[in-house]
A = this chain, B = another copy of it.
């Protein structure tokens, strides 16, 4: 008996926050950056329709896929209205997929460096990093950035 439609015909910000498992501050922040439309107000307070929860799920999905707030905003309403939603997502998803794949490659590079570190026997720290030893023997290094 907590969050019933609250005799306002909608949900308070607190109710939405509980159901979507975010903080109220997050909801206000999303509104301020255009991820959420400004809901109607009843004596100053936000009153949401239940479908805001769908939007929040969408945002969560997009965040999980690695999109930034700016990108999510573009996904949601930065496009030609005639283009079907799936096409919008797919175009950006393809680009993001490349980014994520590169991220994974970089992380794999880190793993290699770390694994090398785990088996190295340098006594001086600097020994681990010195590559300009032409052809003596061991050498291990990753790169980044």
One of A1-9, A10-18, A38-46, A60-68 contacting the partner: A60-68
Binary per-residue interface labels of chain A (23-50) against chain B in the complex, 1 for a CB within 8 Å, 0 otherwise? 0000000000000000000000000000
Q: Looking across the interface, which residue of chain B has its beta carbon closest to that of A94? A: B118
Residues of A85-102 whose CB lies within 8 A of B: 85-86, 88-90, 93-94, 96-97, 100-101
Q: A57-B131, A61-B128, A125-B85 are in contact. Are A90 and B118 (CB under 8 A)?
A: yes
Main secondary structure of the interface of A (DSSP, over half): helix
In the complex, whether A82 has a CB less than 8 A from a CB of chain B is no
The tally of residues in A whose CB lies under 8 Å from a CB in B reads 54
* B125→A75 contact, CB < 8 A: yes
CB within 8 Å of B: which residues of A? 51, 54-55, 57-58, 60-61, 63-66, 75-76, 84-86, 88-90, 93-94, 96-97, 100-101, 103-104, 107-111, 113-115, 117-118, 120-131, 141-145
